[in-house]
Amino acid sequence: MGPMPVDLLPESRSREGRGGIRGPDGKTRIPTYCANCGKKWGMVPEEHITFAFVLCEPCAETYGDDAHFMKEPDSVFWERIQNASGDEPLTPERLTQQLADPSSDFSQLAKEWRVKVERTQK
């Protein structure tokens, strides 16, 4: 049985990752854009970020409340991990065993996560 469809918040970073600037700390920050109107609105660190959602002030005033009914993709993923592990503790041995079985829920989730991370690193 696949995951239940949920309303996910849209991504606010560009697909190409263009327009990044290196800060005084040597880390690159990439621009974010309003998820509704597309206006450039802020920047986030490129490293270790797998998702960003922003609304500009005018759109937040108009549509901000609606966004509270949507879920962040990463939280949905971790909820699926929790559901897959059930009541049994997720020990390193159990996780290794589950990941070795390509048909297990954990293998499928790991595959989805790798694809997501690879997409954010392009």
Pairing of strands 28-33, 21-22: antiparallel
Strand ranges inside the chain, DSSP E: 21-22, 28-33, 40-45
**pLDDT for the residue numbered 47:** 85
77 plus 63 within the same structural domain: no
Listed residues 26, 41, 70: the one ending a domain: 70
80 plus 63 within the same structural domain: no
Domain span at residue 80 reads 71-122
Global pTM exceeds 0.85: no
55 plus 83 within the same structural domain: no
CA–CA dist 74, 68 (Å, integer): 15
Q: What are the residue ranges of helices labelled H in 68-104?
A: 73-85, 92-100
Mean pLDDT by 10 residues, the chain (122 residues): 69 84 91 94 88 93 83 84 84 89 90 77 58
**pLDDT for the residue numbered 94:** 87
Listed residues 70, 87, 114: the one ending a domain: 70
34 plus 66 within the same structural domain: yes
Vertex 118: Cα angle to 113 and 120 (nearest 5): 100
Domain assignment present for residue 81? The answer is yes
